[in-house]
Amino acid sequence: MIDSKDLDPNFKYEVAAEIGGANINRCFACGTCTVGCPVREIDEKYNPRKIIRMVLLGMRERVLKSDFIWLCSTCYTCYDHCPQDVQLTSIMTALKNIAAREGYIHPSFKEQARLVSKFGRLYEVEDFDNKKREKFGLPPIKKNFDDITKITKDTLPKEVLQ
Amino acid sequence: MKYALFLGCTIPIRGQNYEMSAREVAKKIDIEFVDLVDFSCCGFPVKSTNAETSLIIAARNIAIAAKKGEKICTLCNACTSVLTEANKELSENKEIREKVNKELGKIGLEFKPGVEIKHFSRILYEDIGIDKISKKIERDLGKLNMSIHYGCHYLRPSELYDCFDDAENPSTVENLVAVTGAAVIDYKNRLECCGGAILGVEEDIALSMAKQKLDNITANKVDALVTICPFCSIMYEDNQRKIESKFNVEYNLPVLYYPQVLGLALGIDQKKLGFRLNKIKANALLEKAGVEI
């Protein structure tokens, strides 16, 4: 049951104001996105058309707290196929960005952000790695990036790096 | 032809065979790679958390290349996508550029439009060309059958890549494999996603996505799957044993990076192409191609 008291009519404008979110209002619910979605093919709990409807209806809390917004594999199939150029992959990014700011970030992305912030890459590079690279005839790679640490600390939502 | 080689996160640590073979192939076909030690992560891993942070990290890398006057050659599809998108966005949108440059200014950098960014496979196809490559072939791989997995971000969003290949029915990598003499074997749903981006979110779904493709690929008799992205390769090669035991199936399908395939055809020693780092051993394939192991 949807109770109109729980709906936030401004949610779609909030999404539209995010990077890549501008075209959300164009959706006419044809379902081309859902038909071509490789994640949906495996698990029906991920349904791009339904997510867009929920956003347009203003189901802010339900969407932001959900697990399913983190399931977009960013394959851009829906992005390329959408007849209304909704740019759904970017809308999903916008939703995840808002969710992260509200403290609902998925632990996997929180960990990725921590690693990139700390090491400037998804992996910590140790002396052992560079020795291995040398053995393969490959040049050494840098271990720490203070400027990436600064960028991430200055621009990521505070709670993400806590 | 000179490019700054952009390695990203996964390749220098987990995909050295991709890097080794790309460097060897480049040498053989007169592409000079420059290493810029300050290149970091491309920004993709933080895009879902904060698109602005991702944009700034991407812009930082592009600015580093611009400072040295270099073009960028990527090996990973996700790096290609994030860097190309940032390059386009920041070149076309002055407001966002000024905002990003305010942050870059704090670390002594500035984004300026004009840096070319291309995936290595696209450079081979567009800038070197099949004709020139065919003249350098020293070993015919005619006995081998190969299927190709493009990986999403090499093709889509198509507008980002000026439609250099047909995103609905691509052929650039087919042509690059075919020039080695190997037969390219088509399969059902060849353009579907590997699932790599959600491996950490729901492993079951991601592995099921990879399994579906491995099923479709091995429905034909193929000697190897060819990939051009380290994350796709992790899904099909590093996770192949896991998928086999989870779903009680058996594939034993070698997964090669494209430059390893081209490298063999160019007559480069397989040791230099990093074949011993392939987790699903490709010895049968090497023997079939008449390569010394």
Task: Indicate if the pLDDT at residue A2 is higher than 90.
Answer: no
Q: Which of B152, B285, B146 lies closest to B231 in space, CA to CA?
A: B152
Contacts of A46 in chain B (CB under 8 A): 205
Contacts of B206 in chain A (CB under 8 A): 73
- Confirm or reject contact between A30 and chain B (CB < 8 A): no
The pLDDT, as a whole number, for residue A1 is 80
Task: Indicate if the pLDDT at residue A96 is higher than 90.
Answer: yes
DSSP of A101-140, one letter per residue?
HTT---HHHHHHHHHHHHHSSSS---HHHHHHHHHTT---
Tell if the CB–CB gap between A79 and B156 is shorter than 8 Å: yes
- Going from N- to C-terminal start, the domains of chain B cover 2-119, 135-288
Closest in B35, B57, B192 to A151, CB measured: B57
User: To the nearest whole angstrom, how far is the Cα of A137 from the nearest Cα of chain B?
Assistant: 8
> Which of A71, A110, A112, A133 to substitute to test the interface with B, most B CBs within 10 Å?
A112
- Give the residue from chain A lying closest to B45, CA to CA: A112
Instruction: Give the C-alpha separation, A4 to A8, whole Å.
Output: 9
Contacts of A134 in chain B (CB under 8 A): none
Query: In the predicted model, what is the mean pLDDT of chain A?
Result: 97
Report domain A8-101's class: mainly alpha
- Confirm or reject contact between A121 and chain B (CB < 8 A): yes
The pLDDT, as a whole number, for residue B127 is 97
Query: In the predicted model, what is the mean pLDDT of chain B?
Result: 97
Q: Which CATH number fits domain B135-288: 3.40.50.11810, 3.40.1710.10, 3.40.630.90, 3.40.109.10?
A: 3.40.50.11810
User: To the nearest whole angstrom, how far is the Cα of A155 from the nearest Cα of chain B?
Assistant: 6
Task: Indicate if the pLDDT at residue B231 is higher than 90.
Answer: yes
Tell if the CB–CB gap between A151 and B107 is shorter than 8 Å: yes
State which fold the B2-119 domain adopts.
Glutathione S-transferase Yfyf (Class Pi); Chain A, domain 2 (1.20.1050)
Tell if the CB–CB gap between A39 and B198 is shorter than 8 Å: yes
CB pairs below 8 Å between A and B: how many?
Answer: 174
The dihedral over CA atoms of B109, B115, B118, B124, expressed in degrees to the nearest 10, equals -130
Q: Which of B111, B118, B67 lies closest to B89 in space, CA to CA?
A: B111
Contacts of B37 in chain A (CB under 8 A): 141-142
The pLDDT, as a whole number, for residue B103 is 97
The reply to whether omega before B157 is within 30° of 0 (cis) is: yes
Kindly report, residue by residue over B7-51, the tens digit of the pLDDT: 999 999 999 999 999 999 999 999 999 999 999 999 999 999 999
Tell if the CB–CB gap between B103 and A155 is shorter than 8 Å: yes
The pLDDT, as a whole number, for residue B293 is 85
> Which of B6, B46, B47, B193 to substitute to test the interface with A, most A CBs within 10 Å?
B46
The pLDDT > 90 percentage for chain B reads 99
- Is residue B25 within 8 Å of B179, Cβ to Cβ? no
Mean pLDDT of B279-293: 95
Closest in B40, B156, B193 to A120, CB measured: B40
Kindly report, residue by residue over B57-76, the tens digit of the pLDDT: 999 999 999 999 999 999 99
User: In whole angstroms, what separates CA A94 from the centre of its chain?
Assistant: 7
Mean pLDDT of B154-167: 95
Task: Indicate if the pLDDT at residue A162 is higher than 90.
Answer: no
| A window 4-23, beta carbon within 8 A of B | 18-20
Kindly report, residue by residue over B111-155, the tens digit of the pLDDT: 999 999 999 999 999 999 999 999 999 999 999 999 999 999 999
Give ranges for CATH 1.10.1060.10 in chain A: 8-101
Mean pLDDT of A54-72: 97
The pLDDT, as a whole number, for residue B22 is 98
| DSSP state for residue B223 in the 8-state scheme | S
pLDDT tier, B52 (very low <50, low <70, confident <90, very high otherwise): very high
Estimate the crossing angle of helix B77-92 against helix B51-67, to 10 degrees. 90
Closest in A89, A133, A147 to B12, CB measured: A133
Kindly report, residue by residue over B78-111, the tens digit of the pLDDT: 999 999 999 999 999 999 999 999 999 999 999 9
The pLDDT, as a whole number, for residue B174 is 98
